[in-house]
Amino acid sequence: MYNSKISGLGYYVPENVVTNDDLSKLMDTNDEWIQERTGIKERRHVLKEGGDTTTSMGVNAAKIAIERAGIDKDAIDFIVFATLSPDYYFPGPGVLVQRELGIKTVGALDVRNQCSGFIYAISVADQYIKTGMYKNVLVIGSEVHSRGLDMTTRGRGVSVIFGDGAGAAVLTREEDTTKGILSTHLHAEGQHAEELSLIAPGMGKRWVTDIINDNDPNDESYFPYMNGQFVFKNAVVRFSEVIIEGLKSNSLEATAIDMLIPHQANLRISQFVQKKFGLKDEQVYNNIMKYGNTTAASIPIALTEAWEAGKVKEGNLVVLAAFGSGFTWGSVIIRW
């Protein structure tokens, strides 16, 4: 048996910065209202003309991660791509990244677990490496939300939260099983699927011909829906549970955590979890203030920034945790 370790990290965000004041020109909102509820000050949106895509941002992040891993792209054995916003309905972006990077016929898997997508993707990659099937797995989380948001007052409860960006990690075989990814923990509770969802387009709703011919301006099913208070209440519970589960499975206490990197859903959720585990500010990394919620990309972007800033060091116990649509949630326990 082997462990897997993160040998390379990278991230990419669009240059276009959208502030809360910018949004106030499109909808009835303001900087104070947004910051009070979410902690967000600004986010990145792709440009409408000739801008980045989910795939192109993933490629940019992947190139950095591969270079930092110190391997050639042809050493990648498998690709796992997490996103809720693929370029095409199908095929998924995994094969598009493979094409753009010029990697030959290795397998490419797409993961559709929204805010928990990167955690799920890491878990898949980790299992492939631990069983000896692969040695180097490229894991990407990338999202373009801005093209699908209701940028009016009607949609402000959701639209002010989300941003665009990508993060990537290279997982590599580690023979020392006291290092690297110690364990991953995944959960889902489908009974709440519609509480945070995008219902259309979907084959379960209507025939494609009906969708094409539908000009109903009041149809909100094409925009994300979130039952904010319900999601918040479930998130703080599940975050705590899955972090405790991960620690217990490795006979660790919360005091052992050197760095917690939670999915950047809402700064208030992160602060609640931080307080519950008695962690200091320097033990939790948040960047939602400048990027918003980038869903599957949020954890790899934050992890890369924390590592670049020297906040994640060799020997540190690093905990990743996420909760989101589905509901799905999970954690990763890493000895760096």
Q: Looking at 3, 20, 115, 145, which residue is catalytic?
A: 115
Rounded CA separation 164/43 (Å)? 7
- By DSSP bridging, strand 317-324 and strand 259-262 are parallel
Cβ pair 192, 227 in contact under 8 A: no
- By DSSP bridging, strand 165-174 and strand 317-324 are unpaired
Q: Does the active-site annotation cover 218?
A: no
Q: Which residue type sits at 270? A: S
Beta-sheet strands, E only, within the chain: 3-12, 17-19, 42-44, 78-82, 107-111, 136-143, 165-174, 180-188, 196-197, 225-226, 259-262, 317-324, 328-335
Which residues lie closer than 8 Å to 6 by C-beta, 6 or more apart?
Answer: 169, 170, 171, 172, 180, 181, 303, 334, 336
Q: Which residue has the tokens 């005091």?
A: 255
Q: Which residue has the tokens 């075989």?
A: 173
Q: Looking at 3, 60, 266, 293, which residue is catalytic?
A: 293
Q: Does the active-site annotation cover 234?
A: no
Cα 60 to the chain's mean position, in Å?
16
Torsion of the alpha carbons at 1, 299, 143 and 131, rounded to the nearest 10 = 0
Which of the 8 DSSP states describes residue 160?
A: T
Using alpha carbons only, give the angle 304, 320, 175 rounded to the nearest 5 degrees. Answer: 80
Report DSSP letters for 233-296, one per residue: HHHHHHHHHHHHHHHHHTT--GGG-SEEEE--S-HHHHHHHHHHTT--GGGB---HHHH-B-GG
Rounded CA separation 320/336 (Å)? 12
Q: Looking at 45, 145, 185, 263, which residue is catalytic?
A: 263
Q: Does the active-site annotation cover 263?
A: yes
Cβ pair 110, 52 in contact under 8 A: no
Residues taking part in catalysis: 115, 263, 293
